[in-house]
């Protein structure tokens, strides 16, 4: 085959390069089109709540520099407050979904007991709990509990699914090598479930971010990005509202992206899926 | 070591009736013997092996390893699976060490034993590879090493080369004979390939269609290595194949017309 000599060394793969390039070009084209349309509309409509992209970009950077007097903090403080709530809710969800999911997957009676409860509460959107959670748990733990619910259910489902999808031959093999139920769980079922847990975490993170904004909009103390969005809208500073939305998008992309990266690495490493 | 199977019966519940999978299966496997169990698909040959392994419960009858009745899985019986059943998150080394970890063998000793068997199956240099990095034949070499590392008295192999391509399969058969010669293990080997049984076994047990029982036992005293192209080999194959074909054509008897034993 006559080909680029560099290809032999794996330095240049023409097909892959072109495929990647196509993807990049279309990606950039989509964003450029979106910004151009947005800009056009903002000029044409001339409405306060459709600020031009450059105003939003300006607001985005300003929000990090300038302390909002009534909130007593700048965007960094809001991010910190949101991340804190998010982190606590997330860790609690992980700490509960993991053991409950593993037990439900592994022990039939536990599954029969917990399943009706899970099926009863799962369909209720986490946000629907906001009012009552604020009342019961207060302005700090209320939003945290909403995040908790948002992360808990998708994570739980994935853990249970992981345990139930363990290959029977792996269990048989372990048993023929003398594994009892406890070693079976420790050495086969739990490691097998790890990639499924990671998938649950990725999904849970995405849903968690959706919940935090809603939770903070209703009530939050000590700032928060969701609260910031709501506040900016209420005082008519729409460009700052959009800046807050952009921050949420970046936080979401960031955490889900990291989680997705870890998930892919793990899947390859574990050879599962 | 002697493996004695007496009047083994296995029934499965099926809707409101019972399906008799195995009926009065009798077999004695002698020390260091290589026995192939051959039968039409669905005759219960894998079920027999799984009962010997302790992975399934028998309905009645007796299976004894020396004088001990088998009731569940144990390290005195090692098993090799058609699906390889390697732990994907463990390296070759760690897969082979699995049973030794359960036996609480100290780490240094584990390494030494694992290395010995990895070398035996010809995988030296692949200790730190993960299963997904190995070909099918290599995976099954790990499966064999892993089963042997526990030093079982009998090696149970459930169509171990069934998932391999023809060339790899032939190679693995030769490798198994070499490993057997070096380890002197007693082997019970399930297959549906007449050729494979003729090539490997000291005795070939041909089973009836469902409900499975021993139909005929062929003793093969041709010395190893056997020549697949020889007249003797062809004749043997022909005889066994004829016996087997009769069962395939007869097909499994349905639960309704199988003899009932209340």
A133 and A146 part of one domain: yes
Half-sphere exposure of A202 (CA within 13 A, CB side): 15
Contact B85 A169 (CB under 8 A): yes
Which of B75, B83, B102 comes nearest A183 by C-beta? Answer: B102
- SS3 (DSSP) at B221: coil
Is residue A16 scored above 80 in pLDDT?
no
- pLDDT, greater one: A46 or B102: B102
How many separate domains does chain A show?
2
Cis ω for the linkage preceding B225 (within 30 of 0): yes
Mutate to test the interface with B, among A166, A175, A176 (most CBs of B within 10 A): A176
Min Cα distance A269 → chain B (Å) is: 7
Answer whether residue B84 shows pLDDT above 80: yes
What pTM does this model have? 0.82
Q: How big is chain A, counted in residues?
A: 273
Q: Distance from B6 to chain A by nearest Cα, in Å? A: 22
Q: What is the CATH number of the domain that holds A93?
A: 1.10.3720.10
pLDDT tens-digit map of A231-268: 898 899 999 999 999 999 999 889 888 988 888 888 77
Return phi, psi of residue B134, to 5°: -105, 155
The percentage of chain B sitting over the pLDDT mark of 70, rounded to a whole number, equals: 96
A185 and A117 in one domain? yes
- CA dist., res. A86 & res. A261, Å (int): 20
pLDDT of residue A247: 93
Q: Do B132 and A271 touch (CB under 8 A)?
A: yes
pLDDT of residue B85: 95
Confidence of residue B173 (pLDDT cuts 50, 70, 90): very high
The pair of structure tokens assigned to B201 is 């076994």
Chain B residues with CB under 8 Å of A179 CB are: 102
Q: A3 with A95, same domain?
A: no
Indicate if A19 and A68 belong to the same structural domain.
Answer: no
Quote the CA–CA distance of B209 and B191 in Å, as a whole number. 14
Which of A11-20, B174-183, B233-242 comes out lowest in average pLDDT?
A11-20
Report pLDDT for B109: 95
Q: What is the pLDDT of residue B248?
A: 79
Task: Examine the pLDDT at B258 and tell me if it is beyond 70.
Answer: no
pLDDT score of A271 more than 70: no
Q: Specify the pLDDT at position A272.
A: 52
Residues A40 and A169 in one domain: no
Which residue, among A173, A187, A193, A194, would best test binding to B if mutated, counting the most B CBs under 10 Å from its CB? A173
The pLDDT assigned to B17 comes to 86
Q: What angle do CA A194, A196, A199 make, to 5 degrees?
A: 115
The reply to whether A121 and A139 lie within a common domain is yes
Q: How far is B98 from chain A (nearest CA, A)?
A: 8
Q: Are B23 and B48 in contact (CB under 8 A)?
A: no
Q: What is the mean pLDDT of residues A52-78?
A: 87
Residue A56 has pLDDT above 80, yes or no: yes
Q: What is the pLDDT of residue B166?
A: 92
The predicted pLDDT at position A20 comes to 82
pLDDT level of residue A273 (50, 70, 90 thresholds): very low
Same domain, A163 and A261: yes
Same domain for A217 and A159, yes or no, is: yes
Decide which of A31, A46, A61 is a domain's last residue: A46
Chain B residues within an 8 Å CB radius of A194: 89
**Which of A2-11, A42-51, A90-99 reaches the highest mean pLDDT?**
A90-99
Residue B87 and residue A179: Cβ atoms within 8 Å?
no
Among B82, B88, B138, most A C-beta atoms within 10 A, so best to mutate, is B88
Residues A40 and A93 in one domain: no
Confidence of residue A130 (pLDDT cuts 50, 70, 90): confident
* Spatial separation of the C-alpha atoms in residues B157 and B147, rounded to whole Å: 10
pLDDT at B253 > cutoff 70:
no
Q: How far apart are CA B79 and CA B146, in angstroms?
A: 9
Q: For residue A190, what pLDDT is reported?
A: 92
- Residue of B56, B65, B89, B156 to mutate, interface with A, max A Cβ within 10 Å: B89
Average pLDDT of chain A, as a whole number = 87
State percent of chain B over pLDDT 90.
77
Placement of tokens 């309905």 in the chain: B59
For A269, which residue in chain B has the nearest alpha carbon?
B89
Same domain, A259 and A193: yes
The alpha-carbon gap from A9 to the nearest alpha carbon of chain B, in Å, equals 22
Query: Mean of the pLDDT values across residues A208-218?
Result: 82
> Any idea what DSSP says for residue B192?
S
What are B99-151's pLDDT values in tens digits?
Answer: 999 999 999 999 999 999 999 999 999 999 999 899 999 999 999 999 999 99
Q: Helix, strand, or coil here: B225?
A: coil
E strand or H helix at A40, and its extent? helix A14-45
Per the model's pLDDT, the better-predicted residue between B261 and B128 turns out to be B128
| Beta carbon pairs, A and B, within 8 Å | 69
Using an 8 Å Cβ cutoff, are B220 and B236 in contact?
yes
Distance in Å, alpha carbon of A270 to nearest chain B alpha carbon: 4
Amino acid B259: pLDDT: 45
- Using a CB-CB cut-off of 8 Å, the residues of chain B touching A272 are 88-89
Tokens found for residue B9: 């019966």
Which of A172, A178, A192 lies at the smallest CB-CB distance from B99?
Answer: A178
Number of other residues whose CB lies within 10 A of the CB of residue A65: 9
> pLDDT confidence of B262, banded at 50, 70, 90?
very low
Cβ contact (<8 Å) for A272 and B89?
yes
pLDDT of residue A54: 92
Q: Are residues A69 and A18 in the same domain?
A: no
| Domain hosting residue A26, numbered range | 1-46
Residues A179 and A122 sit within 8 Å (Cβ to Cβ):
no
Across the interface, whether the CB atoms of A177 and B146 are under 8 A apart is answered yes
A248-265: b or e for each residue (b if 16 or more CB lie within 10 Å)? beebbeebbeebbeebee
Examine the domain organization and report whether A57 and A114 are in the same domain.
yes
Our CA angle for B208, B189, A271, nearest 5°, is: 120
- Write down the pLDDT at residue A219: 66
Q: How much of chain A, in percent, has pLDDT values that exceed 90?
A: 49
What's the rounded mean pLDDT across residues B36-41? 89
User: Do residues B59 and B172 touch, judged by C-beta distance below 8 A?
Assistant: no
Q: In which element (H, E) is residue B22 found?
A: strand B17-29
Q: What would the pLDDT profile of A80-102 be if each residue is shown by its tens digit?
A: 989 999 999 999 999 999 999 99
Of B55, B103, B150, Cβ closest to residue A175 = B55
Q: Is residue A7 pLDDT above 90, yes or no?
A: no
Q: For A198-210, what is the mean pLDDT?
A: 90
Please check the confidence at residue B165 and state whether its pLDDT lies above 60: yes
> What element of type H or E holds B188?
strand B186-191
């Amino acid at each position: 085959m006559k080909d680029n000599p560099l290809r032999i060394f794996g330095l240049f793969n023409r097909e892959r390069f072109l495929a990647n390039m196509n993807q990049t070009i279309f990606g950039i084209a989509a964003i450029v089109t979106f910004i151009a349309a947005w800009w056009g509309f903002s000029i044409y409509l001339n409405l306060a709540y459709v600020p031009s992209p450059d105003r939003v970009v300006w607001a985005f950077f300003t929000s990090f520099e300038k302390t909002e007097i009534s909130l007593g903090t700048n965007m960094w403080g809001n991010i910190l407050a949101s991340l804190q709530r998010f982190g606590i809710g997330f860790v609690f969800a992980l700490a509960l979904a993991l053991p409950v999911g593993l037990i439900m997957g592994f022990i039939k009676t536990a599954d029969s007991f917990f399943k009706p409860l899970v099926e009863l509460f799962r369909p209720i959107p986490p946000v629907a709990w906001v009012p009552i959670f604020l009342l019961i748990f207060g302005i700090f733990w209320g939003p945290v509990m909403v995040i908790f619910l948002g992360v808990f259910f998708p994570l739980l489902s994935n853990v249970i699914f992981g345990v139930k999808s363990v290959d029977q031959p792996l269990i048989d093999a372990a048993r023929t090598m003398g594994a009892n139920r406890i070693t079976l769980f420790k050495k086969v079922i739990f490691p097998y479930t790890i990639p499924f847990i990671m998938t649950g975490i990725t999904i849970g993170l995405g849903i968690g971010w959706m919940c935090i904004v809603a939770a903070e909009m209703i009530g939050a103390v000590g700032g928060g990005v969701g609260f910031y969005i709501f506040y900016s809208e209420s005082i008519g500073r729409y460009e700052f509202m959009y800046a807050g939305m952009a921050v949420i998008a970046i936080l979401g992309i960031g955490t889900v992206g990291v989680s997705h990266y870890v998930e892919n690495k793990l899947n390859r490493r574990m050879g599962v899926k | 070591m002697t493996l004695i199977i007496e009047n083994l019966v296995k029934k499965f519940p099926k809707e409101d009736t019972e399906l008799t999978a195995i009926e009065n299966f009798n077999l004695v496997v002698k020390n260091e013997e290589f026995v192939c169990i051959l039968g039409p698909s669905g005759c219960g040959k894998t079920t027999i092996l799984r009962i010997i392994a302790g992975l399934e419960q028998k309905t009645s009858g007796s299976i004894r390893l020396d004088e001990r009745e088998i009731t569940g899985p144990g390290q005195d019986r090692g098993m090799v699976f058609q699906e390889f059943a390697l732990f994907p998150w463990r390296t070759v080394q760690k897969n082979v060490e699995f049973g030794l970890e359960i036996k609480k063998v100290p780490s240094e000793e584990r390494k030494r034993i694992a290395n010995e068997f990895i070398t035996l199956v010809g995988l030296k240099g692949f200790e730190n590879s993960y299963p997904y990095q190995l070909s099918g034949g290599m995976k099954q070499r790990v499966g064999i090493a892993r089963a042997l590392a526990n030093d079982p008295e009998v090696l149970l192999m459930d169509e171990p080369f069934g998932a391999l391509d023809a060339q790899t399969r032939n190679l693995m058969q030769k490798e198994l004979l070499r490993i057997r010669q070096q380890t002197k293990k007693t082997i019970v080997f399930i297959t549906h390939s007449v050729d494979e049984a003729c090539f490997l076994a000291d005795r070939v047990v041909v089973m009836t269609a469902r409900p499975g029982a021993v139909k005929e036992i062929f003793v093969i005293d041709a010395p190893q290595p056997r020549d697949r192209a020889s007249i003797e080999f062809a004749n043997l194959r022909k005889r066994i194949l004829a016996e087997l074909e009769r069962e395939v054509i007869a097909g499994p008897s349905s639960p309704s017309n199988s003899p009932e034993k209340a």
